[in-house]
Amino acid sequence: MHIGLILLALAYVLSQFFRAFLAVLAKILEQDIGASPDDLAFASGLWFVAFAAAQIPIGAALDSIGPRRTAAGLLLIGGGGGAAVFAMATSPLHIAIAMTLIGVGCAPVLMASYYIFAREYPPMRFALLASVMVGVGSLGNLVASYPMALSAELLGWRTSLWGLGGLSTLVALSIYLWVRDPAKVEGETKGSLAELFKLRALWFIFPLMGVNYALPGAVRGLWIGPYLTDVFGADTSAVGLASLLMGTAMISGTLFYGFADRLFPSRKWMLAGGAMVTCLATFTVILLPAHSLVLAVGLICAIGFFGSGYAVIMAHGRSFLPPHLIGRGVTMLNLFSIGGVGILQFASGRVYHHYAGTGDTVLPYMMVFVLLGACLVAGLLVYLFSSDRAA
């Protein structure tokens, strides 16, 4: 099982990479195939929407055929195939198609790991294991920053994507060979989505799940590049370095939340406090839009650190799930998380496009931050009525 989890972690590195690498390619793709920031926002949004939409069938597949075939099959077709389509792209439409395929391919990877954690390990260890998996996988976020920018400059973005497609294919085949499905529980009943939504405790967790990762995910995955370039005149290397710093902050935050979950008496108020700090950093960006590049990067890193409570929110929701609903439950929580990113990517692209017409360089980005910050505030207000549970 340990080899299988290592391979799933490597696959999750790829998943994190693919959701974030567009930010450092923004300028190159605009020059080569005419892809504007709102084109890339649309393509990035499609990645998240496809990823989210796949969660419902993936949840059923995890409960029925297990994580091995579910993860290997989709990563092979969607990850390997989508990267190949991206490498051959000649228009923004091709980028959108490629990102949709890649989103489907990456969709089962983390949930396959969580399913194994939930079925094979004690509930009290779920938050820590989930956070470590996200932290390790977030190395892909780092590779999607400065190293990807360097690779694009030295090898070309098409060659880089062909290499990523080959790596995705190899990892998918390895998962099929080495991952082992957890044993079924004798006499276990078959769950359904209707039964899942009867768990009222989840209703107050879903909204925060839907917006908490959306803010740092949208900034790191797309807006950090255009924002720093247009407002501060940052070049590709500077954007890559800033993305690397934010990615490092997100990994550190993920691990912090995972270990802090064992120490804080209240999971709910730890998460609420982190969301409040994220809101504060976001609205500081809005109030000081072009003060200095160093301050902007520092605030973005704060958003990345304190907005990385995803795995512990997942653990909060998982604590209310009976064994026969684990597959559907964790994937539904993930649907809200990734779906929220996708929806807000679309919305942020439209907001940017609307205000870009004013001729103001700074205003479009500030309105994007207003949108993302306001949604986080709304999700946090609902979450404050949730039930606390530490196990």
Domain ranges of the chain: 2-181+195-383
Q: Which helix (H) or strand (E) holds 237?
A: helix 236-260
pTM summary value: 0.77
pLDDT digits (tens, 9 = 90+) for 335-360: 888 888 878 888 998 899 889 878 78
Q: Is the pLDDT of residue 62 over 80?
A: yes
Mean pLDDT of the region 379-389: 91
pLDDT digits (tens, 9 = 90+) for 95-123: 999 999 999 999 999 999 989 988 888 87
CB 35 within 8 A of CB 234: no
pLDDT digits (tens, 9 = 90+) for 176-214: 999 999 877 665 556 667 788 888 889 999 999 999 989
Q: Is the pLDDT of residue 317 over 60?
A: yes
- Percent of the chain predicted with pLDDT > 90: 47
Cα–Cα dist 281/95, whole Å:
32
Mean pLDDT of the region 222-235: 88
Residue 71's nearest CA partner among 17, 109, 102, 110 is 109
CA 117 to chain CA mean position, Å: 19
In this prediction, residue 171 has a pLDDT band, given cuts at 50, 70 and 90, of: very high
- Percent of the chain predicted with pLDDT > 70: 96
Which whole-number Å values give the CA distances from 148 to 8, 164, 236, in the listed order? 22, 11, 10
Task: Count helices and strands (H / E) in the chain.
Answer: 22, 0
Residue 63's nearest CA partner among 372, 378, 325 is 325
Q: Is the pLDDT of residue 308 over 80?
A: yes
Fold of 2-181+195-383: Growth Hormone; Chain: A; (1.20.1250)
Which tokens is 108 given? Answer: 């089962």
Provide the pLDDT for residue 189: 58
Provide the pLDDT for residue 187: 53
Q: Which of 96-105, 146-155, 254-263 has the highest mean pLDDT?
A: 96-105
CB 215 within 8 A of CB 340: no
31-105-206-5 Cα dihedral, nearest 10 degrees: -120
Which whole-number Å values give the CA distances from 370 to 213, 239, 362, 366, in the listed order? 15, 22, 13, 6
Which tokens is 92 given? Answer: 């923004």
Mean pLDDT of the region 304-313: 93
Provide the pLDDT for residue 45: 80
Instruction: Give the three-state DSSP class for 107.
Output: coil
CB 347 within 8 A of CB 331: no
Provide the pLDDT for residue 358: 80
Cα–Cα dist 366/390, whole Å:
37
What does the DSSP assignment read for 284-324?
Answer: HHHHSTTS-HHHHHHHHHHHHHHT--HHHHHHHHHTT--GG
